[in-house]
Amino acid sequence: MKLTIVAGARPNFIKIAPLIHEIDRVCSEGMDITYRLVHTGQHYNTELSEVFFNELNIPAPHVNLEAGSGSQAVQAANIMVRFEEELINNKPDCVIVVGDVNSTMACAVTTKKLNIKLAHIEAGIRSFDRTMPEEINRIITDAITDYFFTTTPLASENLLQSGVDPSKIFFVGNIMIDSLSQNMTRAIIPPFFEAKGLKNGNYIVLTLHRPVNVDDPKVLEEILGTIIPVLGDNKLVFPVHPRTMKTLDNIKLDTSHIIFTGALSYLRFIYLTKHSKGVITDSGGIQEETTYLNIPCITIRNTTERPETVEQGTNVLVGDDRAALRGELTKIVAGNMKKGSIPDKWDGNTAKRIIEILAGISFHD
Ligand code: UD1
**Per-residue pLDDT tens digits of the chain, which is 365 residues long:** 999 999 999 999 999 999 999 999 999 999 999 999 999 999 999 999 999 999 999 999 999 999 999 999 999 999 999 999 999 999 999 999 999 999 999 999 999 999 999 999 999 999 999 999 999 999 999 999 999 999 999 999 999 999 999 999 999 999 999 999 999 999 999 999 999 999 999 999 999 999 999 999 999 999 999 999 999 999 999 999 999 998 998 898 888 889 999 999 999 999 999 999 999 999 999 999 999 999 999 999 999 999 999 999 999 999 999 999 999 999 999 998 888 999 999 999 999 999 999 999 999 87
- H/E/C letters for each residue in 34-77? EEEEEECCCCCCCCCCHHHHHHCCCCCCCEECCCCCCCHHHHHH
Cβ contact 150:159 at 8 Å: yes
Ligand 1 atom nearest residue 102's Cα = 15
- Of 12, 101, 213, 301, the residue with max ligand 1 atoms within 8 A of its CB, to mutate for a pocket test, comes to 101
The pLDDT of residue 119 is 98
Distance CA 156, CA 108 (A): 19
Can you give the pLDDT at residue 256?
Answer: 85
Nearest atom in ligand 1 to the alpha carbon of residue 285 is 12
3-state secondary structure of 188: coil
Distance 33 CA to ligand 1 centre (A): 32
Ligand 1, atom 9, lies closest to the CA of 101
Question: What distance in Å separates the CA atoms of residue 161 and residue 150, rounded to the nearest whole number?
Answer: 14
Q: Which atom of ligand 1 is nearest to the CA of 47?
A: 23
What is the whole-number distance in angstroms between the Cα of residue 243 and the centre of ligand 1? 7
Query: Which residue's alpha carbon is at the smallest distance from atom 18 of ligand 1?
Result: 45
Q: Which atom in ligand 1 lies closest to the alpha carbon of residue 99?
A: 11
First to last CA, the chain: 14
Minimum CA distance residue for ligand 1 atom 33: 69
Q: Which residues pair with 38 in a beta bridge?
A: 6, 63
Residue 167's pLDDT is 98
pLDDT at position 257 is: 82
How many angstroms is it from 333 CA to the middle of ligand 1?
31
Catalytic residues: 209
Ligand 1 center from residue 40 Cα (angstroms)? 12
Pocket around ligand 1: residues whose beta carbon is below 6 Å from it?
9-11, 42-45, 48, 69, 101-102, 133-134, 209, 241-243, 283
